[in-house]
Structure 1
Amino acid sequence: MTGAPRTLNDACAWASTGTELLLDAVAGLDEDAFSAPSLLPDWTRRHLVAHVAANADALGNLVHWAATGEETPMYASAEERAAGIAKGPALSADELRSWLTASAHKLAAGLDGLTDEQRGREVVTAQGRTLPATELPWMRAREVCVHAVDLGTGVVTFADLPKGFLTALVAEIRAKRGLAELPDGPPAEVAAWLAGRPHSLAGAPALGPWL
């Protein structure tokens, strides 16, 4: 899978699409459905939704950093990140949906409000990587698109994600995993395999988790 390098506009569009897919996927979930397992080990859908909502809040800290120049880490500590995920089981379905929706919209508004100069400012991710704020929409696109699939509702699969997003995702994970070759198969299945998610590729070696 090859293609033109992703652009900022691409990443913004994918983040918006992924957010819509995710919000649509949780719209009809009742309390029992929220408590069901996600596709991620040891996480219910409550844990997953809380993680994505907390991620929007954390990325919002980096938007603030870019907008003001005031150093604002994604998370004050690893414990703070874990606490955000742990909040999930304690919240009702409506509370989780509200948090997910409000945090996503606040982040999108913050990203849209950055000037070109502010987008060029460097921030530091929770993993300690220094990058320009132009990368924040891509970081969010990965979260919402992949985790919309991880909900495991069957409403969203890798095949439902934008083709350009899948191309960019495959290129990034392939480079990070240092893979010289990829198995033959539909782009969506190759992306799922690279991301360590369930796939239909026959004979592809098992890969560890990603994201």
Structure 2
Amino acid sequence: MTADPLVLNPELERATSRLLATIASFSDPDLAEPTLCAGWTRGHMLSHLARNADAYVNLLTWARTGVRTPAYESPEARDEGIQAGAARPLAAQLADMAAASTRLATAIDAMPPEAWSVTVALPSGTPIPAARVVWSRICEVELHHVDLCAGYTPADWPDAFPLRLLHDPATPHAATLVDPDGTVLLTVENAPTVSGPVHALAAWLTGRGDGTALTGDLPNLEAWK
């Protein structure tokens, strides 16, 4: 499946719209509820997602201008930014997310074709071509939308997203994966075979599902991290 950022950008726009709709459904007290990320409330998660959009703007600026612009000044600055925005009221969180998403959309539109091949670095330090930024942002939005525990589940993911996720190098390739019709989705040598719906396979491999909808000898994913 293609990883072309200009092909994926409409998917990012739709994922962002779904996220913003979920945020708009919250009340101020809802933001204090826990998420699937240990120690983070919904407020922390939303603050992270907004700052992550700005981090990706930095990476695209780096690719476009040639001036090294890290996603975050430092890991400490990243954490401080999340904490600083976590306790804000809903109106501020929603406005911030919308504005940060618009900044990222503008940065994507401003990219000349040759800039997409420039190597930048994710916050983890992993070098990637700038073309991967759009896909990385889709992953942030779709996975953390589930983490909000607000009714959006892996079953709500668009069909193409979990398929791409299964083949992503960052996803643990711990088993040969088969869909319910018997179609082999991913082959891993000397690994057990696990079967189930595509979204359930992707949810299990990314820690958003416990594998109860799957069949087969599920390996311990901790060994694959």
Same fold by TM-score, threshold 0.5 exceeded?
A: yes
In the TM superposition, what is the alpha-carbon distance from 1:198 to its structure 2 partner?
A: 2.7
TM-score (norm 1): 0.89
The residue type equivalent to 1:177 in the other structure is: P
| Larger helix fraction of residues | 1
Q: Which moved more, 1:8-17 or 1:59-68?
A: 8-17
Q: For the structure 1 residues 128 and 29, does the alpha-carbon distance in structure 2 shift closer, same or farther, using more than 3 Å as the test?
A: same
1:179 positional shift? 1.8
Gaps (5+ residues) in structure 2? Answer: 178-193
1:75-131, Cα deviation, whole Å (9 max, x unpaired): 111101111221233311111111111001110111111010122222122122222
Q: How do 1:47-196 residues align onto structure 2 when only pairs under 5 Å count?
A: 47-154=44-151, 156-172=152-168, 176-182=171-177, 183-196=194-207
List per-residue Cα deviations over 1:53-93 (Å, max 9, x = no partner): 01001111111111211100001111011112212333111
Offset of residue 202 of structure 1: 4.9
Which structure has the bigger radius of gyration?
2
**How many residues of Structure 1 are paired with residues of Structure 2 in the alignment?**
205
Measure the CA separation in 2 of the matches of 1:123 and 1:37: 33
Change (3 A) 1:188 1:176: closer
Q: Which has the higher contact order (CA 8 A, sep 6+)?
A: 1
State the partner residue of 1:207: 221
Q: Which runs of 5+ in 1 are unaligned?
A: none
- Measured after TM superposition, the shift of residue 7 of structure 1 is 3.1
Over residues 134-161 of structure 1, what are the superposed CA-to-partner deviations in whole Å (9 max), with x where a residue is unaligned? Answer: 111011110011111111111x211211
Give the aligned partner of residue 181 of structure 2: none
Q: Over the residues paired in the alignment, what is the CA RMSD in angstroms?
A: 2.0
TM-aligned CA deviation for residue 24 of structure 1: 0.8
- For residue 57 of structure 1, what is the amino acid of its counterpart? D
Q: Which has the higher strand share?
A: 2
- How many angstroms apart in 1 are the aligned matches of 2:4 and 2:117? 14
Q: Distance in 1 between matches of 2:205 and 2:123?
A: 22
Scaled by the length of structure 2, what TM-score is found? 0.84
- Measured against aligned partners, the alpha-carbon deviations of 1:175-206 in whole angstroms (never above 9, x if no partner) come to 64232423211111111100011343356455
Alpha-carbon distance, 1:8 to partner: 2.6
| Structure 2 letter corresponding to 1:201 | A
Moved over 6 A (4+): none
